Amino acid sequence: MKTEYFRERAGLGAPSVIIVVALILVLAGTLYYAISNYYTQGESDLAPKQNATMKPDTSSLVESGNTATDAPETKTFTITGKSFSFSQKEMRVKKGDTVKINFTSTEGFHDWVVDEFPGAKTGRVQTGQSTTAEFVASETGIFEYYCSVGSHRQAGMTGKLIVE
């Protein structure tokens, strides 16, 4: 008798309880997916994938000692951008090298920018589109590259360009 009194007062029937439980399960599933996607999106990016093309400059060979000097080279990197991350977190070049960036967006609207070097900026591209940038690494140091679209940089879409 007391149970019936509370059931009538609470107004909760079986359909209401089922709807509440279903909403909780949907929210929990969405939260789980978002968190697991956030923490696993960068795992494949842990090992840098440098795709540098090094062309030896035969004009820098010294005939008397048969030793080569460290002549500037053109280094080409193929980078993809996806949801708040780049395919490469670090790139290494030498001072004076020409750096060519082949950039493709595989997910979303992105670009690739390094503020310290003239020409070190690609155009903004949509999913499936590609663009390039070419510049000379004229200073030594560690420089941040990033996506300048919206708040992508603040969300962690960055990397390091190391010029030795």
Q: For residue 142, what pLDDT is reported?
A: 97
CB half-sphere exposure, 148, CA atoms < 13 A: 12
Q: For residue 15, what pLDDT is reported?
A: 75
Number of H helices, E strands in the chain: 2, 9
72: tokens are: 């500037």
pLDDT in single tens digits along all 164 residues of the chain: 555 655 555 555 677 778 888 888 887 777 666 665 554 444 444 444 444 444 444 444 444 444 455 678 999 999 999 989 999 999 999 999 999 999 999 999 999 999 999 999 999 999 999 999 999 999 999 999 999 999 999 999 999 999 99
Q: Tell me how far apart the alpha carbons of residues 131 and 113 are, in angstroms, rounded to a whole number.
A: 12
Q: Tell me how far apart the alpha carbons of residues 142 and 124 are, in angstroms, rounded to a whole number.
A: 24
Domain boundaries, the chain: 2-40, 47-163
Q: For residue 24, what pLDDT is reported?
A: 86
Question: What is the C-alpha R_g of the chain?
Answer: 26
Q: What is the DSSP string of 31-43?
A: HHHHHHHHHHTTG
CA 13 to chain centre: 49
Distances 136 to 116, 117, 145 between C-alpha atoms, Å: 11, 7, 15
From the options 3.60.20.10, 2.10.109.10, 3.30.70.120, 2.60.40.420, give the CATH code of 47-163: 2.60.40.420
What is the value of pTM for the model shown?
0.57
Q: Tell me how far apart the alpha carbons of residues 153 and 146 are, in angstroms, rounded to a whole number.
A: 6
Q: For residue 2, what pLDDT is reported?
A: 59
